[in-house]
Amino acid sequence: MRRILQQYEKSTHKELWQLGLLGLFLVSMFCLGMVGAMATKGGALEVTGEAVVQESVLTKAENWGLGFGDEGSVPTGMNTAEELREYDAYYVADTEEKKLYLTFDCGYELGYTEAILDALKNHNVKATFFVVGHYLEESPELVKRMVEEGHTVANHSYNHPDMTTLSDEELIKELQDNADKFKELIGEEMINYYRPPQGKYTLENLKKIQELGYHTFFWSLAYMDWDVKKQPTHDEAFAKLLSRVHPGAIVLLHNTSKTNGEIMDELLTKWEDMGYHFGELSELVP
């Protein structure tokens, strides 16, 4: 752990993003070791995407996670949809309509975002891209394309820290610096939509974000697409994303995934063949 911290201090923005995911993966693997013990007591602990399912009431910082039931059913979250709405936060739409809300987390660029945007344009699908400051600085043309093609660009913090550890002043700065950078680039205000880095949050943290005028968006459908050194095959991706899709799903995907860039057009076609169509996060905000 000391070595990881030393490397973290010396890392570039891209390396910081990768190390953050690595640290989260190590924590997830530790929690996964508890599965056997919980299973004997009827527990439902599962690693999904970047997160782990634990308690519904948070007394300390946790990573957002999901518990899955029958195929096609809405998964359970760390908190219920009703609890989250008290903080202007969402993880799923309250609907039986076959509608999906597509979102991407953008930490840095590996050359796959253009293919993702091409597929979205081909299917006339509008998505939300949660970006960090590094992405705004290093990939301005892609951000401009997102806006020009009708997508929403939203706030994923400037430096991708654990936001639950920050003082109020530091938290405000993370969000404001990112919003300011977007305005400098695009010439308009960034929408007040927020996704917690690494999915880390507490209810107190959500309340602070809410008081700043933000709506927080978690997710109800994701898969292990974030590890750039261990990308899932196409079949593995489809197995997760098709079997676990459900009405009202907020879908989290990563733009750094080679697999996502390769399957996006086919994935959208498959979802459409299943009767799904696509909405925008603004539909969830009162």
- Phi, psi (rounded to 5 degrees) for 99: -125, 140
Tally of CB atoms within 10 A around 133: 21
User: Which of these is catalytic: 134, 156, 160, 254?
Assistant: 254
Q: Note whether 90 and 215 are within 8 A (CB).
A: yes
Active site residue 105: yes
What is the token pair recorded at 265?
A: 């057009």
Q: Which residues pair with 106 in a beta bridge?
A: 131
Distance CA 193, CA 155 (A): 6
User: Which of these is catalytic: 88, 105, 162, 225?
Assistant: 105
Non-local CB neighbours of 79 within 8 Å, separated by 6+ positions: 56, 57, 58, 203
Cα–Cα nearest to 153, from 192, 184, 118, 124: 192
What is the token pair recorded at 66?
A: 């999901």
Q: Which residues are catalytic?
A: 105, 254
